[in-house]
Structure formats: C-alpha cells, structure tokens
C-alpha cells in the first residue's frame, strides 16, 4: 500500500468537510464553486449563468450559528488544573499553557481553535512533540480533518492503541537555499507509527517503539529542494527518526484525536451538517427567486398601432401620439403566485434552520418569557454544546497528560490522573445567572455545614456572582479587608434552623 493511501472513512467524508469549509467561508467561496452548489439552468450560456450567480445572495446562517456556539462555550475562560509546586514539571506545564504551539498561542486560544474546528467539520487532531534542538520543551501541533489522511489501531500489549497516523503537511526549503521572497513549498507526509522489535510477532508482549517517517513529493532522481523541476514526481522517504524520552523510544504515538462526541479515531458526523444542507437549499431557492424577480418585477412598456420607426421615450415630459385608429399602449406587469412560492419556501428553510439550532436567527417574541421557558427552548443547542464541551475537555486533558508525561518519569501517559492535570471548558450556557433565592439557599447550606465554603464560592463563581478570575483565597481576603475597613473583627453569627419534612426536633445551628 503506497504511503499516500487514504482511509476509507476519509474518502467518505472529505467531500462533506470541503462543503462545510465552503459554507463557513461565506458567499465568495460558495459562488466560486459555481455548479457545485448552484446548478446551471437549461440553455444558459456562460454569460447568463454568471449573471444568474451574481444576482443571488448567500444567507450564511451556518457560520452565524457556529460563531454563536463558540461564543457560548467561551463566554467563560477554560480552566486548566496544573501540578502545584516549583518543580520542573509544574514549570513546563505553566510554560505550555502560556505558549502551547511555540508560535505564541496560549492553550486557551488553542482550545478555542479546536472547538471552532469541531463545530465546523467535526474533527481535528493534535500531535504532542518535543523540540530537541533549541528550547527543549513539549509543544502541540494542530491538524485539520483534511490533513489526517490515514490511521489504524491495533491490539498491542492488551490495549487498543494507535499504530499508524499519516499527516499531510507543507514543507519549505531551508532558509539558506530558498528564495526569501518566494520559498519552495513541498508536499510532505509525516508518518507516525508503532513498530515492534525485530523478530517479534504483532500480538506478542514486547516493547513497541514510536517511529516518525517523512515522505516528500519530489522529482524523480532529484533532491527535495528541486521539487519544482519538471519531470516525473513520486513520494520519496527523506528521513526516519525514532524520538527518545529518558533515552528510550516512546511506547505510544503522541497523537490525540478531537471529535464532537469523543476522542476516538472514528469519524463523527459534522454537528451542523443538517443546517448546512438547509442553508444550501435556501441559497438555491434565493437564486431562482432573484432570477424570477429580474425578469418579472420591472414593468415593460408595450405599444400597438405606432410607427415602428418612431422613437418612443418614457417620461412625464414626453407624449406618445399615433395617427392609426385604435392605437394603444400599456405596461406588462407580473401578476400571480409564482414568486410567493419561493418566498414561502425560503421562509420555511429559515424556520427549519432555527429549529435545527439557529435560535439566534429566530425573531424574538414580543411577549415576556420566563427563564425556564428560554432554557427549555434552547435545550437542543445546549445538548450539542454540552457534548462538544465535554468531549474537547477530555481530549485537551489527554494533551496535558502527554505534556506532563514528556517532562516526568511515568511509564505511560494514562498513569497521570485528573488529580495532576485537567482541562475544563465551560458547560453552563444559561444567561440568567444565579437568582436571589439560590444565593440565599447556598449561604444557608454553608452555614448549616452541608457544604464547604470552597464549594459555596465555586458555585457562586459558576453562577456569575463572583468574578471568574478571582480565586477563593482572594475572595476571602477581600471579604476580610472589607470587614476591617467597616470596623468588624469577625462575621456576626447567623442562626439558621434546618428543617426536614416531619422533623419536629430540629435545633437551630449557629455559624460564624
């Protein structure tokens, strides 16, 4: 099997990914695709078809929906739990959170890009590599769905693990050899694979090792830097590397898949696929509607019994005079329900897109709605957002585990639990905040000893009562300083009487 071979799931989904890319790119990309999204009408020549395209407009509900979803997830900053202390692992994780890809992208911005990719096409991947030459640190490289062309999993040492990942890249010639204003770009495939020791069968218990191959599409018999030369080209293996950690090869491939439901290699459906399909249908309807308006909306003058050679001008300062008895004139105007059919069809598509997820495009009700009614009406979007949020949180946690593992001595990344590293994206999309009754109930529960002060403050932060960037210690210190300024040494005791159904022996509880 040649190195450029693609996975069957890749072949089945690459067209849908490209369609989603075009839709989210907007009107220019959709119109540039021409007949791909807008079939040519019968007997239309190139000039007529170009005018047909130019008259229509693309109502990009899909992109607005995707932007709204990303905005809801990141209306609160993601949180990353890192190891405490001043050791090397903690310092390395802190550096990674501040600059995840060695290009100045913070892990928060990196995660936002991932969520955007997942909502747009439903798939992405991250390679966690080690920079050996200069900075001696772990970093992440993001790959789009179209760049992950092949993958395989195998049963190795009693576990299902990735055994092959093929990534499509663009490589540039070395700076010393390239034109600084026009560098050569060479197609490259990065092959990540697990290889067993020599003489060991696939299912035997052994220490498999991670190996990286680089293949470039170069001219036959030429160096990689002559890839632009004419002649037959082919894929050529130009480099093979076995990355080491603590002097030993890696036992697993440091690659993490990201998806809308899980972090498995399997391809998931695009979250907004149904909206994209309706959006393109709306585009075709709009084209026919504008085409019909072009030919029927403008009144057209007509005359009968006038001299064919006479010049007739339209305007209030001009009179038409005919000497022929029975001569007449008038305007051709469209009457009927033809265009209203297109209007109703477009309205139906817009309503259907609202049902499928574009609630922000729906006309607001003129009557008041309760918070419960709003949340119930938005339950469809929240279910999608919750799924994406939890899935990306889990896969980002895997990325943090790999970074931790690169800087530690654990045998495998799975040995690093959530007590050490954890990534959490926002999964609370309510716009109502915490009510006064909920605040009172939480304070009463804390005073009664049912919950800790830290839990109460965390719930206040989730309910947007406390600023999200303020820690519990900072909040307590702020309260203490305000009490000192007010002349209070301690919080006055508050007496709360917890009761339960049928409890006649309830006793008051005094809390400071």
Helix %, strand %, coil % of the chain (to 5):
40, 20, 40
Q: What would the two tokens of residue 346 be?
A: 């477009």
Which uninterrupted H or E stretch holds 377? helix 371-377
Output the CA–CA distances (angstroms, integers) from residue 145 to 70, 115, 257, 387, 487, in the order listed: 18, 13, 10, 19, 61
Give the pair of three-digit tokens for residue 214: 């680089």
For position 488, what pLDDT does the model report?
58
* C-alpha span between 300 and 330 (Å, rounded): 8
The closest of 206, 166, 202 to 187, measured between CA atoms, is 166
- Residue bearing tokens 């007449």: 328
Phi, psi of 210 (to 5 degrees): -85, 130
Burial grade of 100 (CB within 10 A; 0-12, 13-18, 19 or more): buried
216 class by beta-carbon count within 10 Å (0-12 exposed, 13-18 middle, 19+ buried): buried
Alpha-carbon distance of 322 to 306, in angstroms, equals: 6
User: Which is nearest to 446 in space by CA: 486, 484, 481, 491?
Assistant: 491
* DSSP one-letter string for 332-362: E---SSHHHHHHHHHHHHHHHHHHHT-GGGS
The structure tokens listed for 508 are 């008051």
Sign of CA dihedral 52, 53, 54, 55: positive
Please give the pLDDT value at position 141.
Answer: 96
Q: Which residue has the tokens 């019968």?
A: 42
Q: Give residue 406's pLDDT.
A: 94
The answer to whether 199 and 188 have CB atoms below 8 angstroms apart is no
Instruction: Answer for the pair 371, 432: CB distance below 8 angstroms, yes or no.
Output: yes
Closest CA to 119 of 426, 423, 381: 381
Q: What is the 3-state secondary structure (H, E, C) of 133-144?
A: CCCCEEEEEEEE
The encoded tokens of residue 330 equal 């008038």
φ/ψ of residue 184, rounded to 5: -70, 130
pLDDT at position 92, please?
93
Backbone angles phi, psi at 509, to 5 degrees: -115, 130
Q: How is the chain split into domains, by residue range?
A: 298-333, 436-512
Q: What is the C-alpha to C-alpha distance for residues 47 and 49, in angstroms, rounded to an integer? A: 5
Query: What whole-number distance in Å separates Cα of residue 436 and Cα of residue 443?
Result: 11
How, if at all, do strands 148-156 and 159-172 pair? antiparallel
The pLDDT of residue 367 is 46
pLDDT in tens, the chain (512 residues): 789 999 999 999 999 999 999 999 999 999 999 999 999 988 889 998 899 899 888 988 889 889 988 988 898 889 999 988 778 899 999 999 999 999 999 999 999 999 999 999 999 999 999 998 888 999 999 999 999 999 999 988 888 999 999 999 988 765 555 566 777 788 999 999 999 887 665 555 668 899 999 999 887 655 555 445 455 678 999 999 999 998 899 999 999 999 999 999 999 999 999 889 989 988 888 888 787 777 776 677 778 877 777 777 777 777 877 777 878 887 766 665 666 776 777 777 777 777 666 443 334 444 455 555 555 555 545 577 888 999 999 999 999 999 999 999 888 888 899 989 999 998 877 666 677 888 888 888 888 888 888 888 888 877 777 776 678 888 888 888 887 777 655 544 444 444 444 444 444 444 44
**What is the pLDDT at residue 335?**
61
State residue 177's pLDDT score: 58
């Amino acid at each position: 099997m040649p190195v450029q071979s693609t996975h069957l799931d890749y072949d089945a989904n690459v067209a849908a990914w490209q369609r989603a890319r075009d839709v989210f790119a907007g009107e220019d990309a959709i119109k540039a695709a021409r007949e791909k999204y807008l079939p040519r009408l019968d007997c239309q020549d190139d000039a007529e078809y170009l005018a047909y395209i130019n008259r229509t407009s693309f109502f990009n509900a899909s992109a607005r929906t995707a932007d709204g979803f990303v905005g809801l997830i990141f209306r609160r900053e993601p949180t990353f739990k890192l190891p405490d202390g001043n050791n090397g692992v903690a310092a390395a994780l802190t550096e990674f959170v501040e600059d995840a890809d060695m290009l100045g992208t913070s892990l928060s911005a990196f995660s936002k890009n991932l969520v955007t990719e997942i909502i747009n096409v439903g798939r992405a991947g991250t390679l966690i590599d080690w920079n050996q030459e200069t900075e001696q640190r772990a970093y992440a490289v993001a790959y789009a769905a179209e760049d992950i062309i092949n993958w395989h999993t195998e049963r190795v040492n009693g576990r299902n693990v990735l055994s092959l990942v093929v990534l499509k890249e663009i490589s540039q010639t070395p700076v010393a050899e390239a034109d600084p204003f026009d560098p050569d770009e060479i197609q490259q495939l990065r092959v990540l694979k697990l290889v067993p020791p020599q003489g060991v069968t696939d299912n035997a218990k052994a220490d498999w090792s991670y190996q990286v191959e680089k293949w470039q599409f170069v001219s036959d018999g030429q160096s990689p830097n002559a890839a632009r030369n004419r002649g037959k080209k082919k894929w050529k293996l130009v480099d093979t590397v076995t990355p080491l950690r603590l002097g030993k090869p890696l036992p697993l491939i440091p690659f993490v898949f990201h998806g809308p439901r899980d972090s498995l290699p399997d391809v998931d459906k695009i979250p907004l696929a149904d909206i994209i399909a309706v959006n393109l249908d709306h585009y075709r309807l709009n084209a026919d509607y504008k085409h019909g308006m072009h030919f029927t909306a403008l009144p057209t003058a007509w005359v009968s019994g006038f001299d064919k050679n006479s010049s007739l001008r339209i305007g209030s300062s001009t009179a038409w005079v005919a000497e022929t008895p029975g001569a007449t004139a008038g305007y051709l105007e469209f009457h009927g329900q033809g265009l209203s059919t297109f209007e109703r069809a477009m309205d139906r598509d817009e309503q259907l897109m609202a049902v499928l997820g574009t609630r922000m495009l729906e006309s607001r009700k003129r009557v008041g709605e309760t918070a419960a009614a709003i949340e119930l009406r938005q339950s469809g979007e929240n279910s999608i957002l919750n799924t994406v949020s939890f899935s990306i949180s889990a896969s980002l946690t895997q990325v943090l585990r790999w970074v931790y593992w690169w800087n530690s001595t654990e045998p495998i990344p799975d040995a690093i639990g959530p007590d050490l590293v954890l990534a959490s994206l926002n999964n609370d999309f309510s716009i109502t905040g915490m009510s006064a009754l909920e605040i009172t109930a939480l304070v009463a529960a804390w005073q009664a000893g049912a919950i800790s002060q830290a839990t109460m403050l965390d719930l206040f932060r989730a309910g947007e009562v406390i600023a999200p960037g303020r820690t519990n210690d900072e909040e307590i210190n702020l309260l203490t300083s305000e009490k000192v300024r007010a002349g209070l040494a301690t919080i006055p005791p508050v007496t709360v009487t917890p009761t339960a159904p049928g409890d006649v022996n309830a006793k008051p509880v005094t809390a400071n």
